[in-house]
Amino acid sequence: MSTYPSIFNDVIGPVMRGPSSSHCAASLRIARLCRNLMDENIKDILIEFDPNGSLATTHKSQGSDMGLFGGFLGWEAYDERLPESDKYMVTAGININIHIVDIGNSHPNLYKITLNNNKETRKLTAISTGGGMIEVIAIDEVKVSMAGDYFETLIYCDKPENIITFLTSSTPFDYLEFHKGELSFIEIKSQTFLDEGIYKELLVMEGVSFIKQLEPVLPVMARKNLQVPFITCNQMMEYNIDKNKSLWQLAVDYEMARGDISASEVFEKMRGIIHIMGQAIKLGLQGTHYKDRILGSQSLQFKEKLDANKLVGGETNNRIIMYVSAMMEVKSSMGVIVAAPTAGSCGALPGALFGTAHSMQLHEDELVKAMLSAGLIGVFIAAHATFAAEVGGCMAETGSGGGMAAAAITEMKGGSLQQSISAASLALQNSLGIICDPIGNRVEAPCLGRNVMAATNAVSCTNMALSNYEQLIPLDEVIETMKVVGDQIHHTLRCTNLGGLSITNAAKKIEAMLEEAPVKIFKNC
């Protein structure tokens, strides 16, 4: 099976509501698969989190519960009902129990879920891998590997030989595997579900107990024998030796191969993403309100000062800061945003690109190209490091967003391909080791400041690259180092609410106030 990231799966997306893609969007996708596993009939759910993981301390405040509930109800990640999903669970008659127990945690974002109705009990274990991406690692305590990018058919049986022979001769599929356990099943990964006639024949075959069908939860599917033209920066440069393509054109080449779609489909898909981002910035600058948040609409204050020419720095840089703030405030008010590459870092990349494009008065097409360029840098990071703060700290989120933005802005300003790559390398070097320590257990601060820092770092590194500053360390090696450094960051500093600013006296007071009465604590900061 392929592990090649897609720009639209792993890097730019999902379109969602909530403070954290690792928590909200990922949990919703996991729960959607749980819903399929139970044929959309769920009565009782037990969710277990390990005390040594990140979810034990963050599942409520950072949106895992909200996402899970929405997924169990069959909703999309951008559904406007998500903030009140707990009430809808009660209305639906679904009972939830969440336990913090030692489950032998092997990943900081591990979900162990037991589902019941009056006819059956099923179990599913999954991890959130960053930016809304997931992997189901066990079903009914049998080891599997599902990313949500196939139509999955599970044929529970105790005599697989004749069934496999029948399937091999009667139906197309990408992968077929028999998983042996206390409850054994044949897993089929394919581009569509089984033909209805084949499905009915299977149900009456000797040894077949029942069949489960799990729909894909990612926008771009995987497929058998999937190949991409390159998966590292060095490979991209070699691929481009006789083509002389720009970074955005190389991004189109990559995603055409990854998603099996045309160049125009790639471009227009990204245009749709751009429209959602632009609308979020516009809404943010109109002022946002939500009771369960720490910070108010600070971008409005910034806009007043910017319009009155009372701020230090250039117009482009200040516009970027304003846009980053507006985007982050929409996220914190449960508005629709695009995780780029994550929800916690959703401001840095679009803020930097939109701010630059608007200052330069560029056509929308140039923004689409820039976001594609950024997406390709993100592919290299997703393939060889991580976007998950729970794994790599804030370096993995805002650091990645800044590196992606630096490459894209350099191209927007007419820089060469090599200058764009140098800008990304410089920006990522500047971000190594940044911890994740949200205040009040909310993804607002210091997240806002770090998004601003990432965006302005991107501008600085763009100017350095355009002036031919030496990157010294090649981009691929910087990304490899991100992975190494992330592994070395102590777990208390990786989005667990157990270290850094999270455990200061002021942060604990804010957290206590939020727990007692969710209200906006600070109007001006």
- 31: domain CATH number is 3.30.1330.90
pLDDT digits (tens, 9 = 90+) for 119-163: 999 999 999 999 999 999 999 999 999 999 999 999 999 889 999
Domain-embedded: residue 230? no
User: Which pLDDT does position 107 carry in this prediction?
Assistant: 87
| CA pair distance 188, 152, nearest whole angstrom | 6
Q: What is the mean pLDDT of the chain?
A: 95
Longest dimension (CA), the chain: 78
210-232 average pLDDT score: 97
User: Which pLDDT does position 105 carry in this prediction?
Assistant: 67
User: Which pLDDT does position 18 carry in this prediction?
Assistant: 95
- Amino acid identity, position 78: Y
440-459 average pLDDT score: 96
Cα 356 to its chain centre, rounded Å, is 24
| CA pair distance 34, 138, nearest whole angstrom | 12
Total count of domains within the chain: 2
pLDDT digits (tens, 9 = 90+) for 74-125: 999 999 999 999 999 999 999 999 999 998 767 889 999 999 999 999 999 9
Residue after which a domain boundary falls, among 214, 238, 263: 214
- Residue corresponding to tokens 């949500």: 148
| CA pair distance 70, 78, nearest whole angstrom | 10
- Residue corresponding to tokens 């490459």: 407
Domain-embedded: residue 521? no
User: Which pLDDT does position 519 carry in this prediction?
Assistant: 45
Domain-embedded: residue 460? yes
- Domain of residue 461 covers 246-516
Q: How many CB atoms lie within 10 A of CB 3?
A: 11
Q: Tell me which residue of 448, 436, 455 sits closest to 331, measured CA to CA.
A: 448
DSSP class of 295: B
Residue after which a domain boundary falls, among 191, 214, 237: 214
257-269 average pLDDT score: 98
296-306 average pLDDT score: 94
DSSP collapsed to 3 states, 468-490: CCCCCCCHHHHHHHHHHHHHHCC
Q: Answer yes or no: do 59 and 15 share one domain.
A: yes
DSSP for 500-524, written as a single string: GGGGSHHHHHHHHHHHHS----BS-
Quote the tokens at residue 355: 């701010």
**Above pLDDT 90, what percent of the chain?**
92
Say whether 147 sits in a helix, a strand or coil. coil
Q: Tell me which residue of 235, 119, 139, 126 sits closest to 179, measured CA to CA.
A: 139
Say whether 54 sits in a helix, a strand or coil. coil
Q: Answer yes or no: do 334 and 261 share one domain.
A: yes
Domain-embedded: residue 386? yes
Cα 305 to its chain centre, rounded Å, is 34
Q: How many CB atoms lie within 10 A of CB 103?
A: 17
Say whether 158 sits in a helix, a strand or coil. coil
User: Which pLDDT does position 517 carry in this prediction?
Assistant: 61
Domain-embedded: residue 219? no
Q: What is the CA radius of gyration of the chain?
A: 23
Q: Answer yes or no: do 363 and 461 share one domain.
A: yes
